[in-house]
Amino acid sequence: MLTIGEKFPEMEVDTTFGPLKLPDHYKGKWFILFSHPGDFTPVCTTEFVAFAKRHEDFKKLNTELIGLSVDSTISHMKWVEWIEDNVGEKINYPVIGDPMGTVSQTLGLIHAQSSTETVRAVYIVDPNQVIRAIMFYPLELGRNIDEFLRMVKAFQVGGEYKAALPANWPNNEIVGEHVIVPPPKSMEAAAKRTKEYECLDWWLCHKEVPKEEASAARKFLERAAKVPE
């Protein structure tokens, strides 16, 4: 089982865009690998359309998408063709065909309830090819794509400003759109913090980031909150 902080394993995969070598194909970029239980299934179809609709937003964050299941590449090709013909959404990202389950086994994605289905999971990988987040979902629950946009934006802001991100950022209930200052490493540093930052106490200090950083993340949240009529 892979864990956060590990390098994404090297592998050669067959996709609807042809053979790719991971993670080198996305070197210098973020990428999100998401697995789905099976082609031609209702929840997975809604997810593929949702990812496709937000693909340009991911690209603006230097982030690429790649899908995966234990279906064959031929099955994927027919399914994405069906989606475009019947839903009107073109799937502009590759999908890994893994009928032997080799890739899925490496990533720990074979479903415990069925060896013929892939777990509904997400790996977020940074430009250094390090796994930054891993998420698993049940068969019956589709994913919130906007949350992945928020997460990538938050990772990028946290890295840029050497900070942690609070719950619901940029709309946190305590610090608003501010970011959290990392904890001090000495008593001396702790004593200085309340003079350097806004603090509720020396162990909970926060600081402002440029408005445009929080605004970009807020747009993702606002779109996620909209319910189609």
Among candidate residues 65, 56, 83, 62, the one with its CA nearest the CA of residue 22: 65
Q: Which stretches within 73-138 are classed as H helix? A: 73-87, 102-106
State in words which class domain 11-143 has. alpha beta
**44: pLDDT strictly greater than 50:** yes
**11-143 and 155-225, same CATH topology:** no
- The end-to-end CA distance of the chain, in Å, is 41
Q: What are the structural domain ranges in the chain?
A: 11-143, 155-225
Specify the CATH number for 155-225; select among 3.40.50.300, 3.30.1020.10, 2.120.10.30, 3.40.50.720. 3.30.1020.10
Catalytic residues: 44
Residue 37, preceding bond cis, omega within 30 degrees? no
Single-letter amino acid code for the residue at 193: R
pLDDT, tens digit (0-9, with 9 covering 90-100), for 95-129:
999 999 999 999 988 866 555 678 899 999 999 99
Q: Decide: 145 and 51 in contact? Cβ < 8 Å.
A: yes
**229: pLDDT strictly greater than 50:** no
In this structure, what token pair is assigned to residue 211?
A: 């408005």
Alpha carbons 123 and 196: distance in angstroms, whole number? 36
pLDDT, tens digit (0-9, with 9 covering 90-100), for 52-111:
999 999 999 999 999 999 999 999 999 999 999 999 999 999 999 999 999 999 998 886
